[in-house]
Chains A and B, each alone.
Chain A
Amino acid sequence: MSNAVVETQGLVKQYGDNVAVDHLDFHLDEGEIFGILGPNGAGKTTTLLMLMGLTEPTDGTVSVLGFDPVHEPIEVKRRVGYLPEHVALYDDLSARENIYYTADLNAIPRKEAKVRADWALERVGLQEVADKKVGSFSHGMRQRLGIADVLVKKPQLVILDEPTLGLDPEAVNQLLDLILEMQRAENITVLLSSHQLQQVQRICHRVGIFVKGKMIAHGTIAELAEQLAGGKRTLEVSAQTRGGNLEDALRGVSGVLDVERNAAHYLVHATAEVRPAIARAIVERGWELLHLRERDYGLEEIYLRYFQNS
């Protein structure tokens, strides 16, 4: 665990009677992109705030880059870039001035700040509008400026709270590419939260699923899928049966555990590879096979399944 960038043990945050974060243990390795997923109100933002030392945990310990955010918040904030949920910039300042202010607050000398601001603005593709007032920026531009603003302090860890919220698909892709690029080029560890799954799926090395203040599962997306499937597989089947009973035919195939019906397909649960046998059973009866596919668990299925279970 020597290279753990973030480590929490038994982290608890209570607001009155409401437990926002409930005994959270997780760690973040250097150079990875970790996605915290969960519905609104699951305690994602609270967790991120505790990591930044912006809110104090009720119980448990946190270590960020070897510092304790409760007692050494300044050290943590010097090394960690945080982009809050609603990217807030000063509308009456230009993009460059916004970044200069952050540089000032980080005690970066103006000469160095100039170099870094140019670099960060170019990185996010805003160098051409650098001297325009932020008030005229689109949501996507603001988000990118927020990233540039975070980069200017050359952080070792970047925490992004719902970075893709409210962006159109193209802007989301741009932003995710940017995050990925930034992580690769600067070897920055990234922790981001989201409730939008497909997006996060694309760039996260590992994800953790948050429900009601608990991280109920974490790992790579493949690992989660395997955990969820538990060695079983599910097939989707549909066929043109000319009035024959497909369900009975499927139950007759050896290795099939159960068959259920959803709107579009029959769902076949099995433990072994039964696809050839099913195909044969259908063709032998003179029916036409229309659809036969093994379900793989995408993040969405994983997400839904976990929510149903909890």
Chain B
Amino acid sequence: MHGLFAIYRKELADQLGSRRFLILFVLICLAGLSSVYTAGQSIRTEISDSRNAFLLLFTTASGPLPPFFTFLSFLGPLVGLALAFDSINGEWNRGTLSRLLAQPIYRDAVVNGKFLAALTTVALMLAAIVVMLGALGIYYIGVIPSGEEILRVLVFLVVAILFVGFWTALATTFSVFMRNTATAALAGIATWIFLTFFMPMIVDTIANVMAATTEIVNVNQLVALEETRQMLARFSPNTLFQEATIAMLFPKVRTLGPLLVSQTVGMLPNPLPFGDSLFLIWPQIIALMALSSVCFAVAYVRFMTQEIRSL
């Protein structure tokens, strides 16, 4: 265990002291500050009901600026990729990997230590930013958040860490498979762009093709089609993150799937209690963790079985 701990400590120190950490931190801070500031402004002027005003800080879009959680769904992947795209191949390129592995440590300590350090960095960064934004927001709008609101924001934070954690795991995988750090970074960015911008289009196309080939005669078929479209979209961690965030930060969201008008008859537009919202997004949370685990497992197996000369 001392090997894992030694590597974790060094990697964490490297990450926190690195320029790229600073740049990403500043970037997300600025994005967060601007979105929370404009959200706060519109809350002050437009909203008389102070219920859930704290949550609105993170979800209100005003003018051209998207809300904070949307910013995070764009920038989060970048953070994960930037912190881990060179974790293994960078070590290989500097030639330090064989020296590292010649020390009395287990081989998996290297990949585990590095991944855990990157994950910790992500968690520290996001926690610091969310807490800071929350504090500034409270000061600005002057509404004390309820316990439930704080819980919801905490869950949002955990989901965000899981989401960025997935990208960290993916970047680690690329760094094990690709010897060139630039290639690994590009592969990561390509995946990011694909999942963020093209995946929704492709999913829509597939759904449209399916709609065109089958004749829709009743409403159940329509619902089934919509559900298929949603299932396809959920293969992307971005969708999972967005669904989980929306259900957590908008307490009035009751379902993430299609809902018929007949089903809404007699429904009260009340906010859901915290437990029910959490219940609603539990599959999304598990799916995010599963995706990250699969990515990391692939990296782990590959790293453990690689010949040292080809590492």
Q: Assess whether B184 is interfacial by the CB under 8 Å rule.
A: no
Q: How far is the CB of A71 from chain B (nearest CB, A)?
A: 14
Which residue of A has the minimal Cβ distance to B311? A54
Q: How far is A102 from B6 in the complex, measured between Cα atoms in Å? A: 9
Q: How far is A292 from B308 in the complex, measured between Cα atoms in Å? A: 53
- With A77-B102, A105-B103, A105-B104 known as contacts, the answer to whether A88 contacts B95 (CB < 8 A) is yes
How many inter-chain residue pairs (CB < 8 Å) link A and B?
A: 71
Q: Assess whether A104 is interfacial by the CB under 8 Å rule.
A: yes
B101 touches A105 (CB 8 A): no
- With A46-B309, A77-B102 known as contacts, the answer to whether A104 contacts B95 (CB < 8 A) is no
| Chain B residues whose C-beta falls within 8 Å of the C-beta of A295 in the assembled complex | none
| Chain B residues whose C-beta falls within 8 Å of the C-beta of A102 in the assembled complex | 103
| Interface 1/0 per residue, B27-44 and A, CB below 8 Å | 000000000000000000
| Chain A residues whose C-beta falls within 8 Å of the C-beta of B98 in the assembled complex | 49, 54, 82, 84, 88
- With A86-B95, A88-B95 known as contacts, the answer to whether A54 contacts B10 (CB < 8 A) is no
| Chain B residues whose C-beta falls within 8 Å of the C-beta of A106 in the assembled complex | 103-104
What is the interface size of chain B, counting residues whose CB is below 8 A from a CB of the partner?
Answer: 23
Q: Assess whether B251 is interfacial by the CB under 8 Å rule.
A: no
What is the interface size of chain A, counting residues whose CB is below 8 A from a CB of the partner?
Answer: 31
B99 touches A84 (CB 8 A): yes
Q: How far is A84 from B102 in the complex, measured between Cα atoms in Å? A: 9
Q: Assess whether B96 is interfacial by the CB under 8 Å rule.
A: yes
- With A46-B309, A104-B10, A107-B2 known as contacts, the answer to whether A88 contacts B99 (CB < 8 A) is yes
| Interface 1/0 per residue, A76-99 and B, CB below 8 Å | 011011111011111110000000
Tell which of A78, A90, A104 touches B94, judged by Cβ atoms closer than 8 Å.
A90
Interface secondary structure of B, over-half rule: helix
Q: How far is A83 from B102 in the complex, measured between Cα atoms in Å? A: 9
Q: How far is the CB of B171 from chain A (nearest CB, A)?
A: 20
B102 touches A52 (CB 8 A): yes
Q: Assess whether B105 is interfacial by the CB under 8 Å rule.
A: yes
Q: Assess whether A9 is interfacial by the CB under 8 Å rule.
A: no
| Chain B residues whose C-beta falls within 8 Å of the C-beta of A87 in the assembled complex | 95, 99
Which residue of B has the minimal Cβ distance to A45? B309
Q: Assess whether B211 is interfacial by the CB under 8 Å rule.
A: no
Q: How far is A282 from B186 in the complex, measured between Cα atoms in Å? A: 77
- Name the residue in B97, B99, B104, B308 with the highest tally of chain A Cβ atoms < 10 Å from its Cβ: B99
Q: How far is the CB of B112 from chain A (nearest CB, A)?
A: 14
| Interface 1/0 per residue, A218-235 and B, CB below 8 Å | 000000000000000000
- Name the residue in B9, B96, B103 with the highest tally of chain A Cβ atoms < 10 Å from its Cβ: B103
5 new A-B contacts at CB < 8 Å, known A84-B102, A88-B97, A105-B100: A46-B309, A82-B99, A89-B96, A104-B2, A105-B7
11 A-B pairs (CB sep. < 8 Å): A74-B105, A82-B99, A82-B102, A88-B97, A91-B94, A102-B103, A104-B9, A105-B100, A106-B103, A107-B2, A107-B6
Interface residues of B (CB under 8 A from A): 2-3, 6-7, 9-10, 14, 94-106, 307-309
Nearest 9 A/B pairs, CB to CB: A88-B95, A104-B6, A82-B102, A105-B103, A88-B96, A78-B104, A77-B104, A107-B2, A54-B308
